[in-house]
Structure 1
């Protein structure tokens, strides 16, 4: 459950999320790492859940634009800008039940992330400004999804690396594109290009990279002309069936993913590239 929040309280709270509020009440939420594309690490993962809780609790905004920075919407669990690798989560090596509880904490953050996005009570425009290969369910929960011509969607961090795709991918993709396409996408690690994603029904519009955010602002300014309660209640109307889908399957998927990670993390903590089998050596 989110709580009441105000822009002045959260606008500078997060290392990886930049906020900008327009006079019309349009909130821009931009993911980044040091001003460039977001590199996923555990802090970025956990803070995204909290950041969306603040956005969802802000009753002054009228429209949300959510996007990334730089070349990508987000970057892989790869090297950080300083060349270092993110934290290696060797949870099975932790004594006692510490590893299990750490995995449960990450599942808790992930569950909150999904619900906090769905609890945003104003129209949400997602701008996928480049490749999106981790947590694509976040932008896909937007009411209008725009993509740059060079964008693609890919679930790089789950099944291709030996994990169960249970943290929202298993809910959003079948909901949007159907079971057969979703299963193929998640099992193969397919890169689904922006135009094909539009043909599949996951994306509404595709634009040149330097024009896609401008298009989002154009749409947002038009939406923001509507009455306050119309905007909020329309978003609630549009998310109702998606909330039901997440309620039915999110906990189920997270439980299976968390349990299976007991096998994965002792070997796959290094997060190898997609073109390497999850149990190959060495991990670099």
Structure 2
């Protein structure tokens, strides 16, 4: 039975952690206990947080979710700094690579419980093994084209992988907003649930998985993500470099 609480549980102001005796870790993203507003601080902190989760061998299943009515639908662009400055972008470049690599290095099953609109950093969701979504969820790549930059932070790898090359490119280029029903029909979402049933179902599946031996859980996650890890490692740096070129060109862009 797991009784200790790691130091990282209270380390991050935008993440709430809880873990039961079966090693099921719940990770809830929030801003002051409301829906998360993505900032430069969360961009930095999530790198370390997912690393901490990955190296904690008392974690046996992970549930990732949001707070309130949205999974993630707001971003504070100003907090990311001057993205037209190559030295500022270098920080984003490094963090953008590491956050996905650290997510995929979580070597236990990961369940995403998408509690509402997911309009940015949906690549986090697509690294999960099981994706549940509430009836009010929608999916979109909102921020990149709105800011005039390449969608190169991992969405360019994972959405075409999940939707297929043609549909995935269409999704990103048109900023298509998929309803949860469309996402389910296209195979992005595994189950659609009423909002008040979402976390109960995530916990039910987590308890079902937790009945397996720990090494079975760990090595199944390793086996199922090996292909995704290869694609992400090949594509993430290049995508972020292209995104960075367009970010540094914003000051000269003609609209």
TM-score after normalising by structure 2: 0.94
Structure 1 match to 2:41: 43
Unaligned runs of 5+ in 2: none
Unaligned runs of 5+ in 1: 1-5, 79-84, 93-98, 269-277, 280-284
Deviation, structure 1 residue 249: 1.1
Is it true that 1:196 corresponds to 2:194 in the alignment? no
Change beyond 3 A, Cα 1:48–1:220: same
Q: 5 Å matches for 1:67-216? A: 67-77=65-75, 86-87=78-79, 89-92=81-84, 99-216=85-202
Aligned residues between the structures? 252
Deviations 1:77-107 (A, max 9, x none): 15xxxxxx84363344xxxxxx211101111
Structure 2 Cα separation of the partners of residues 193 and 246 of structure 1 = 26
Deviation, structure 1 residue 140: 1.5
Deviation, structure 1 residue 250: 1.1
Structure 1 match to 2:63: 65
Deviation, structure 1 residue 128: 0.6
In 1, are the aligned partners of 2:82 and 2:88 still within 8 Å (CA)? no
Change beyond 3 A, Cα 1:56–1:130: same
Structure 2 Cα separation of the partners of residues 116 and 243 of structure 1 = 10
Structure 2 Cα separation of the partners of residues 45 and 254 of structure 1 = 14
User: Following superposition, which runs of at least 4 residues in structure 1 exceed 2 angstroms of deviation?
Assistant: 85-92
Structure 1 Cα separation of the partners of residues 219 and 43 of structure 2 = 29
Change beyond 3 A, Cα 1:267–1:22: farther
- Which is helix-richer, 1 or 2? 2
TM-score after normalising by structure 1: 0.85
Supply the RMSD in Å over aligned alpha carbons.
1.7
Structure 2 Cα separation of the partners of residues 35 and 59 of structure 1 = 27
Deviations 1:35-57 (A, max 9, x none): 00000110011111111010011
Deviations 1:163-185 (A, max 9, x none): 10100000110111101111111
Structure 2 Cα separation of the partners of residues 38 and 91 of structure 1 = 21
